[in-house]
Amino acid sequence: MQKLEPNDPCWCGSGKKYKKCHWLQDCELDKYRREGFRILPRTILYSAEEIEKIRAAGALNHAVLDMVQSEIKEGVSTEHLDNLVREFTYDHHAIPACLNYEGFPKSCCISINEVVCHGIPSPDKIIKDGDIVNVDCTTILDGYFGDSSRMYCIGNVAPNAQKLVDVAKECLEIGLKQVKPYGRLNDIGDAIEPYANDNGFSIVRDLCGHGIGKKFHDEPEVVHYAQPRQRGVLMVPGMVFTIEPMVNEGTWKCKFLKDGWTVITADKKLSAQWEHTLVVTENGYEILT
């Protein structure tokens, strides 16, 4: 990449001089690069205008999950919920990103009890009293993606299941608090895993969060378990990604089913997950979903 002079137009396309736009940030990144941090390509950073579009997609995705909240109950099939997600999304001039993504046959993922993630909705899967249910959906609006998931507790949930759901939400909140400009991305997992362990739970290692924006999955890869000795990726303003820790009641190990999608806990114990899309800002972070 050609080195820019301070009075050259900035590489971001803003029309401003480099010295008035990204020059100070690039100097800061060079310092961290010399310290051994991994600096991701500029192409994964989003402008204020692009973040506004991701925010709009995220707001609609949030509305989808609110709609699910009003419809999910004992006796309802997961396929019925999936149909509602698809219809609601299309009615709001958007696209359900999961539908046909790499062959996934439904508009959202619905994961019940021991299913860690990527549960495929079906007319044969009926929501029951005491179930804990994760609904994970992603919305494409005007070419930009918003991704989040939420847990729903159905009827009389056992105390151990409720604790798992609550701790999983707290793990997400703890992960969010680690996000700051020029911080270690690994700080997220370094904070989440000990908290889960202290509550008697484990963090899934086979799946992770991800960059998102103009693509469904992009850099960075966001792990939720501790890696304290690794500098890893540097968080930079304009970086957009998900935090989505999967918290298991027993072992962190998982089993991938023959349908090519569904992931369950290896010991058939419960799992719970909450997810948000966020952007790193100059002062910290903003939740976009």
Residue whose pair of structure tokens reads 């590489």 in the numeric block: 11
Mean pLDDT of 146-165: 98
Distance, CA of 23 to CA of 114 (rounded, Å): 49
Average pLDDT, the chain: 96
Sheet with 254-256: list strands edge to edge.
Answer: 115-117, 263-265, 254-256
Percent of the chain with pLDDT over 90: 88
- The answer to the question of residue 140 being in a domain is yes
- The answer to the question of residue 161 being in a domain is yes
Distance of CA 283 to the CA centre of its chain: 21
**pLDDT number for residue 131:** 98
Task: Answer yes or no: is pLDDT of 149 > 70.
Answer: yes
For the chain, the residue count is 289
Question: pLDDT class for 51, splitting at 50, 70, 90?
Answer: very high
Q: Which domain holds residue 155?
A: 41-287
Residue whose pair of structure tokens reads 């369950």 in the numeric block: 264
Question: pLDDT class for 25, splitting at 50, 70, 90?
Answer: confident
- Which is higher by pLDDT, 29 or 53? 53
Q: How many structural domains does the chain have? A: 1
247: domain CATH number is 3.90.230.10
Asked if 237 contacts 282 with a C-beta cutoff of 8 angstroms, the reply is yes
Task: Answer yes or no: is pLDDT of 1 > 70.
Answer: no
Extended strands (E) in the chain: 95-96, 109-112, 115-117, 132-141, 144-153, 202-203, 209-211, 218-222, 240-243, 246-248, 254-256, 263-265, 271-273, 276-280, 285-287
Question: pLDDT class for 143, splitting at 50, 70, 90?
Answer: very high
Task: Answer yes or no: is pLDDT of 135 > 80.
Answer: yes
Quote the DSSP letter at residue 235.
P
- The answer to the question of residue 36 being in a domain is no
- The answer to the question of residue 132 being in a domain is yes
- The answer to the question of residue 104 being in a domain is yes
**pLDDT number for residue 284:** 97
- The answer to the question of residue 6 being in a domain is no
Mean pLDDT of 131-156: 98
Mean pLDDT of 42-54: 95
The pLDDT tens digits for 75-84 are 999 999 999 9
Number of other CB atoms surrounding residue 15 within 10 Å? 8
Contacts of 194 (CB under 8 A, 6+ apart): 226
Mean pLDDT of 193-205: 98
- The answer to the question of residue 18 being in a domain is no
- The answer to the question of residue 17 being in a domain is no
